[in-house]
Amino acid sequence: MDIHNDQRFAINLNVRGIQPSATLRINELSNQLKSEGKDIIKLGLGQSPFPVPERVVDALKEHAHEKDYLPVKGLKSLRESISGYINRSERMRSTWEDVLIGPGSKELLFILQLAYYGDLLIPRPSWVSYAPQARIIGRSVHWLPTHADNNWQLTAEELDIVCRDDASRPRILILNYPSNPTGCTYTDDQLLAIANVARTYKLILLSDEIYGEVHFEGKHKSIARYYPEGTIISTGLSKWAGAGGWRLGTFIFPKELRPLQDAMAIIASETYTATSAPIQHAGITAFNGGEDIDEYLKQSRRVLKVIGEYMHRRLSEMGAVVQKPEGAFYLFPDFSTFRDQFTRKDIKTSQAFCQSLLENTGVAILPASDFGFVPDHLAARLAFVDFDGAESLKLAGGDYADQELADDFVEQAGPRLVKAMDKMEAWLNSL
């Protein structure tokens, strides 16, 4: 029996019209095409190419026997480690009680929106899951305009314009930097200006700093320095420690938002109960850091910076308009200069562009429409992650330890990325 067509069942799904996560969708499609024997260069899913640091893996092995349910808010010793980490890196004075652990920061974002009744303010372009989560829960989403000539950064003025007409309206502002999908980040002055507006309107500010540790120069700063009373810092192990599949995320709250933290813990207790015990124990090692972790991060940043600069240059030479990344592993090139050529091939949307690129070259990227833009905005997100992260770290810390990384390193460490650029360039020139 097909219950969808049977009139005895009226199933009103609250995910109607929402597609599966774009990043997971492109990853599954890429894997399917690869299993069919096609050569697919995977620049769609933003998964760290680097291995989990060896000492962190050893900690997971050591605690694999841990099987007990842990406290809803997380293991105290892990919360202490995270508090210490954020205090060292951001000169804050948090305590372990300010920390909430979850099975990925994505889940914590979801229950934040369940716990706090307010509109969601999202700068465009944004990560693919912010807005769909809000729609699933039934929250209003307000897209904040940004501009390419300002590196797609939200300005304090734009934020003020949105808030001033209804100054007391409850709102959550999400700020993600270094950015997914652009790789750009904010200056101290920009953060201070945004913080002042957020304070004026008493916004809950979720600072998504999951890519903070992969700022290419290691100089990431949290907006919590400037708006400590209203900022929740979101981070985890997925992007800087290569442990995306481990699913460990954390929110660090100011004491002023302890009631919100407690409300989220109540929701957590009735949903996921607690985060995996072995993963939490291993997380202590990661957040405590050490010389080996510092070296891992140093070489990761070096590798990502040179690859990002190489990809930026290649895309610019092709005729795309693209901002130079400052962190993470993303680029957001605009191909509007090819609109006439695309139109002759009946390519009129970013989705059609990415589909045609995949079919003709095997290069998988994501359309701008997945990041908050209208369908005919001819841009795309490219994740430069299809390379052997373990080998690149070994190479950077070995043969290239005492020299500046350049194109020869990229060609040796990331041949599939070079191949992707060659294929894309040839295809664009053929239109």
CATH classification at residue 132? 3.40.640.10
Assess if residue 171 is contained within a domain.
yes
pTM as predicted: 0.92
In which band, very low, low, confident or very high, does the pLDDT at 68 lie, cut at 50, 70 and 90?
Answer: very high
Query: Are 71 and 145 within one domain?
Result: yes
Query: Are 309 and 279 within one domain?
Result: no
In which band, very low, low, confident or very high, does the pLDDT at 3 lie, cut at 50, 70 and 90?
Answer: very low
Given a cut of 60, is residue 406 above it in pLDDT?
A: yes
Query: Are 167 and 272 within one domain?
Result: yes
Q: What would the pLDDT profile of 308-324 be if each residue is shown by its tens digit?
A: 999 999 999 999 999 99
In which band, very low, low, confident or very high, does the pLDDT at 18 lie, cut at 50, 70 and 90?
Answer: low
Q: Can you list the alpha helix ranges (DSSP code H) found in 36-180? A: 54-62, 76-90, 105-115, 130-137, 156-164
CATH of the domain at 402: 3.90.1150.10
The percent of residues in the chain predicted with pLDDT above 90, rounded, is 84
Amino acid 213: pLDDT: 96
Domain end among 257, 289, 321? 289
Query: Are 215 and 98 within one domain?
Result: yes
Q: What would the pLDDT profile of 208-267 be if each residue is shown by its tens digit?
A: 999 999 999 999 999 999 999 999 999 999 999 999 999 999 999 999 999 999 999 999
Task: State which of 28-37, 40-49, 223-232 shows the largest mean pLDDT.
Answer: 223-232
HSE-CB of 104 using CA atoms within 13 angstroms: 13
User: 202 with 229: CB under 8 angstroms?
Assistant: no
- The CA distance from 345 to 179, in Å, is 32
Domain end among 272, 289, 306? 289
Extract the tokens encoding 286.
């990661």
Amino acid 394: pLDDT: 96
User: 227 with 193: CB under 8 angstroms?
Assistant: no
Assess if residue 278 is contained within a domain.
yes
The conformation of residue 215, written as its DSSP 8-state character, comes to B
**Residue count (the chain):** 431
Domain end among 243, 264, 289? 289
In which band, very low, low, confident or very high, does the pLDDT at 10 lie, cut at 50, 70 and 90?
Answer: low
* Full residue range of the structural domain in which residue 406 is found: 22-51+292-430
User: 310 with 275: CB under 8 angstroms?
Assistant: no
Number of domains in the chain: 2
- The CA distance from 378 to 104, in Å, is 31
Average pLDDT over residues 32-56: 89
